[in-house]
Structure 1
Amino acid sequence: MSPKSFLADRPKDYERFGIAPDHIEVREDGMRADSTKQGFYEWWYFDAHLDNGAKIVVTFFTKDAASPNTGLQPRIEFDLDLPDGRSLHKQATFSADQFTAATDRCEVKIANNTFSGDLHKYTITASIEDISFTAHLSGQTEPWRSAAGSIFYGADEKDYFSWLPSVPYGDVELTYTVGNEPEVTTSGNGYHDHNWGNAPMTSIINNWYWGRGAAGPYTFITADIVSEKKYDYDRVTVFMLAKDGKVIADDGNKVTFKKSDIHEDPVTGKPVGNIHSYTYRDGDEEYELSYSREKTILQNKFIDTVTGFKKLAAKLIGFDGSYLRLTGPVTVTHRVAGEVVESVTEPAIWEQMYPGKTRAEDCA
């Protein structure tokens, strides 16, 4: 039986999206979905781990991907974790006429906030309430996508979710201000990706683990994406490993995903693997990426973000979707014919998103 959700990787899939299998064009990071139409959504994402100990995550949305059956409703969200232990979350919604985006490159503007770049160099600026920042991101790992960059859902292949890691890893120079505190300028490493689709994420995805980072000469992106029940919980594994800026392994069909030491998150009630790993095997060559949770730094229940009738309706249907951001070490191990030839460990941040109902198999 054919899978009900699967990665787009056939010649006709590249033709459908007007892209090439061996080249990424600057226009691919431009606006890809008409978010003025119901059902379509899009966002541009940036995160950075900074040398002073701060971490920042910023996203420019055209609308809420969980309930996209609206017109354009642009918003910006960002989280800033400061070296002194404070975690600050800001979000703002804007009117449709405050949003513009180019189709030939990444050039997104929401009011006076901007996200622009050319697959190699980006500038992101945002200011919400008493927090503002400007970031300059310079890619050190080549742009990448998994095959044609989309996952199809359903036999008619009408619904899809698409993803382009435009900068899998790059150098960052960033300046931020918080309230009346002195301006801070620091450097670090960062990441940018771009996502879009035409079906509510809560209707197609049951849960995912996603991570990115660097360890020694390696940079990596990983994702384990489990579809919803109506798609038989089909799994798509995404894996990219680069060394010295060049991709050396990215065939998800050669990857085994495992998780262990499962616990129930006390805030969201969702099962979380304290350890999860991706093992890539190609002949005698093997690469293993293993994440070990030490701390959960963000715990969100989706129901807490809605109000009024939508919140009542969500409670009535038992909606319990959640998002967790996790930290700890990640280890990259390279083996040849079973022998370890290299192993490096570095701190990392990753996430679990669980919009669907909890599956019994995720609790074991």
Structure 2
Amino acid sequence: FELAVAFELDAGEVLATMGPNGSGKSTLLGVIAGIVDAEGRVEVNGVPYLGDGRFVGPADREVGVVFQDYLLFPHLDALDNVAFGLRCRGARRRSARAAAGEWLDRFDVGGLAHRRPDELSGGQAQRVALARALATEPRVLLLDEPLSALDASVRHDVRRDLRRHLADFGGTTVLVTHDPVDAFSLASRALVLENGAVTQSGSIADLVAAPRSRFVADLVGVNQYRGTRRRDGSIALDGGGSLIAAEVSEAARPPGSDIEAGEAVFVVVRPNSVGIHTTPPAGSARNVWAGEIDTLEVGGGRTRVRVLGTPSIVAEVTSSAVADLGLAVGATVWVSVKATEIEVLPA
């Protein structure tokens, strides 16, 4: 497999690496971590890890890694999982465990210190894995789809916690994700890999404004809005209109529940979560409004329908649905979005 990629990151930067399956994303992380053989150069803070005839082994690199499936040691409890890296770097058992306990507390899982991985939920295990990666204070943090295995409500909470910790992290972070919401929420820059080569890189705003491939266009083709959270939890959109996000139990807090009234927010609605109707719908969706079809873009058996309204929105439906509903440019339709399908992030 040939991987051709080059980039530099400053301290505090988060790079979202995206691309289709098999594009080289995880291989890139493996090269940085030292667990995948490669030709080229990897340098961290002026120290060459690979290149110029030098190879620094994984254990000697100041790199923390969090995998999609956590890879916690099954025979160790949460406390000793987090302490493991510190012990490998020469810390005494007592001091390593004390530091590990502090990191578990930071991720709100200190009360689970003596549970083994099979006694943890997915969200709890991921928090332990993040604590383990950060406990050694690495210069580089590698995150391989850290949220993809989590349920939607848990994913929001873990994403919020991760965002907070990355803001305080003094090193650089490389995040692999398939989810544009992760990129929008966590990263400052993005890099897109296709077939082992970089097809686009730059700020998240650059990718959204001018996608250079069909994959990038599909990837960032979510509906994005900016607005302000109201006291009742609804979102007043800057361009007009409003949206209502879910109100659910405290155990699965609604998107944006940690955002105060009057605070600026970033709202994401995925096109496949948008319903299109030729008459006012009678369902349970809390967000319904009328609009006019502006464009119909067909591709891969599905059609992207752009509806002009307040707000304007893009829906993705099957091509058979387009035929059944008789959708055409200029037609008046009604749009519906369930409150549970709206993601609200700090702006």
Q: Shorter-chain TM-score category?
A: under 0.3
Q: Flag the structure with larger Rg.
A: 2
TM-score, normalization by structure 1: 0.27
Flag the structure with more relative contact order, 1 or 2, with Cα contacts below 8 A and sequence separation at least 6.
Answer: 2
Q: Could you say which structure has the higher strand fraction?
A: 1
TM-score, normalization by structure 2: 0.28
Q: Could you say which structure has the higher helix fraction?
A: 2
